Amino acid sequence: MKLNRKVIIPNELGLHARAAAKIARLAEEARSKVYIVKDDQEVDATDILDLMALYCPSGTEVLIKITVPGDAKVLNRIARLIETGFGEL
């Protein structure tokens, strides 16, 4: 089972505060840690400020990473949220 998944941020505003809050809400449902990775920066997906500090404009590739296979549904839900532009497309 995959413990990570790459996605590209498609929406025009990128990963902004509302989008980060949506990711954080989903990540809080996980039994263990969920991370978002951009380049060499890895942040806790439940931390809105850390997510925004990654600076992810439209077109940025990020990696969603989980630490426990049982959280695969959370990983897939976050990936789907990002791929659909956080409901903004």
- DSSP for 17-83? HHHHHHHHHHHTTSSS-EEEEETTEEEETT-HHHHHHT---TT-EEEEEESSGGGHHHHHHHHHHHH
Q: What is the pTM of this model?
A: 0.95
pLDDT digits (tens, 9 = 90+) for 21-35: 999 999 999 999 999
Question: Is the pLDDT at 67 greater than 90, yes or no?
Answer: yes
User: Domains in the chain, ordered, with CATH?
Assistant: 4-87 (3.30.1340.10)
73 part of the active site: no
Q: Single out the catalytic residue among 16, 22, 33, 77.
A: 16
Q: How confident is the model at residue 2 (pLDDT cuts 50, 70, 90)?
A: confident
Measured between alpha carbons, how far is 88 from 13 in angstroms, rounded to an integer? Answer: 9
Work out whether strand 61-66 and strand 4-8 pair parallel, antiparallel, or are unpaired: antiparallel
Matching residue, tokens 């263990």: 32
Average model confidence (pLDDT) across the chain = 95
What pLDDT, on the 0 to 100 scale, is given for residue 87?
87
Matching residue, tokens 């505060």: 17
